[in-house]
Amino acid sequence: MFDVVIAGAGPNGLMLACELALAGIRPLVLEKLTGPTTEQRANGLVGQVVRMLDRRGLYERLTGTPDPPVPVPRFMFGAFPLPLHDLPDNPLYTLMVPQSRIEAMLAERAAELGVEVRRGHEVLGVTQNGTSVTIEVAGRAPIEASYLVGADGGRSRVRGFAGIGFPGVTTDDTVSRTGHVSVPADLVDPHGALHVPGFGVLPPFQHTRTERGLITWAPFPGGRPALVSVAERAEAGDAEMTVGELRAAAARVLGADLPIAAPTGAGPHLLRRTAGGNTRLADRYRAGRVLLVGDAAHVHSAIGGPGLNLGLQDAINLGWKLAAEVRGHAPDGLLDTYESERRPVGERVNMHTRAQSVLVGPGGEITALRQLFGELLESPQTRRHIAALMAGADITYDMGTATGPHVGRWAPDVPGLAALTRTGRPLLLDPTGRLDAGSWADRVDVARTEGTGTALLLRPDCYVAWEGTSADGLEEALSRWFGKP
């Protein structure tokens, strides 16, 4: 019998597998596809997960440089430019890499950690009792595990087999068309902006909204074809999507012809039409011995790119808790905190993506709303609030009786922290030189940091469970999160 089976070898499933392996658990990953997908999906990472990957030693694998991440000077929210350069504590980080590359990196890391991934294994049924889960696999013998995690996407079969509801809203008033294209070189300036005759400038990697719809121009680096996405109120149609259809949609939104053509170079090339959208949240993240992460637990608009930030941090939150449960030293209720901590974060992402979808909608009444919202964005305090919302940096967890300005929040940067958190173990950062992990020394690392400030106890997901200048309350926090000594 396996300790943990993960259904789905996408980024969230692989990230969870890596976290479990760091904690001494060897999960089995089942994936129905026989090889990595060639479908174009996310185009990068937005939010706190960028820094979290750095704290696991994975950021450098994606960038190829040892330099740590730095916040972006600007972003966007609801097709508004969001200047961030003047914020002294800008919390928003991005990393523009395609999802396929993120998956490949995580698959490589999982293999290094001894994780077994079985491709061509489709889950057809799930039953459970008080001690185990049995997974029916197409054409193969059933697999038994102590726990099953569904990381199998928005149409999760695991979620359905576990009887977990997926309430939410479906909209059908817009059609989105997206594709790789080529454009005349003389229309693109040195900064990557696209100059459209008869309309004006489409800034790179920004949503441009008109009263007829939304358009995005994304000239990705490295010679990749540009990506144009158009959303409008129009009929979806059922004919095969073409570049000509995308061009006609862009013309309707812009009121001018955008001279796009089929892309050059090697494929695969994206050409996709999507009618409407879904915003849904699982009514629970756990049913007995079955849990959900990522899109299996929540789906929402891709506007602002929050999906991988949300899903990967689900996996990082769940990994150490599930490992502690399997190893038998989890305190009572620890595994339940996965849902109590992460489901509200899913609600918050659903909220701000729905709000953005309204702000980018067509119509004069939306234009009036945007005028008011644009005035609010002139305040640095408002922009800081929205940047933290987009990054997920405004999240605070309940840490019981522990108090202090950092308790419940993600750990602030201290010198050398990224190197200290690569093991995925709990960590006591002690600048006083007087503290230790006591009877929890087998589970909690201690690092003597510089300075004379406050000591911090970090959970493996880098959230602060305790802080202080003496040992008062430390044992209580150690017991609450890491079990009996």
Query: Looking up tokens 């090697």, which residue turns up?
Result: 266
pLDDT digits (tens, 9 = 90+) for 173-196: 788 898 889 999 999 999 999 999
Residue 432 is encoded by which pair of tokens? 């006083």
**Separation between Cα atoms, residue 45 and residue 15, nearest integer Å:** 14
Residues 6 or more apart in contact with residue 179 via CB below 8 angstroms = 227, 228, 241, 243, 246, 263, 269, 270, 271, 272
Quickly tell me which residue has 């008080």 as its tokens. Answer: 130
Return the HEC string of the chain.
CEEEEEECCCHHHHHHHHHHHHCCCCCEEEECCCCCCCCCCCCCEECCHHHHHHHCCCHHHHHCCCCCCCCCCEEEECCEEEECCCCCCCCCCEECCCHHHHHHHHHHHHHHCCCEEEECCCEEEEEECCCCEEEEECCCCCEEEEEEEECCCCCCHHHHHCCCCCCEEEEEEEEEEEEEEECCHHHECCCCCEEECCCEEECECEEEEECCEEEEEECCCCCCCEEEEEEECCCCCCCCCCHHHHHHHHHHHHCCCCCCECCCCCCCCCEEEEEEEEEEECCCCEECCEEECHHHCEECCCCCCCHHHHHHHHHHHHHHHHHHHHHCCCCCCCCHHHHHHHHHHHHHHHHHHHHHHHHCCCCHHHHHHHHHHHHHCCCHHHHHHHHHHHHCCCCCCCCCCCCCCCCCCECCCCCCHHHHCCCCCCEEEECCCCCCCHHHCCCCEEEECCCCCCEEEECCCCEEEEEECCCCCHHHHHHHHHCCC
Q: Residue 35 has what pLDDT?
A: 85
For residue 274, the one-letter residue type is T
Q: Mean pLDDT for the chain? A: 93
Contact assessment for residue 229 and residue 177, using Cβ atoms and an 8 Å cutoff: yes
Q: Please tell me the distance from the alpha carbon of residue 214 to that of residue 358, in angstroms, as a whole number.
A: 11
Q: Domains in the chain, start-ordered, CATH in brackets?
A: 2-167+279-391 (3.50.50.60), 172-277 (3.30.70.2450), 409-482 (3.40.30.120)
Residue 377's pLDDT is what?
Answer: 96
Side-chain-side CA neighbours of residue 33 (13 Å): 10
Looking at residue 453, its pLDDT comes to 83
- For residues 116 and 26, the answer to whether their CB atoms sit within 8 Å is yes
Two structure tokens written together for 300: 């929402």
pLDDT tens for 252-287 read 999 999 999 998 877 778 888 888 889 999 999 999
Structure confidence at residue 158 (pLDDT): 98
Determine contact, residues 259/182, Cβ cutoff 8 Å: no
CA separation, residue 272 to residues 40, 228, 354, 416 (Å): 9, 11, 22, 44
Residues 309, 279, 275: CA angle, nearest 5 degrees: 110
Q: Is-above-0.85 flag for pTM?
A: yes
Cα 312 from Cα 15, distance rounded (Å): 7
Please report, for residues 151, 220, 239, 248, 465, the alpha-carbon distance to residue 244 in angstroms, rounded to integers and kept in the order given: 36, 22, 12, 6, 55
Cβ-proximal residues to 149 (8 Å cutoff; 6+ apart), any chain: 4, 5, 6, 7, 13, 16, 158, 290, 291, 292, 293, 318, 322
**Total length of the chain:** 485
Low-confidence ranges of the chain (pLDDT < 70): 38-40, 222-224, 236, 452
CA dihedral 49→51→52→58, nearest 10 degrees, is 100
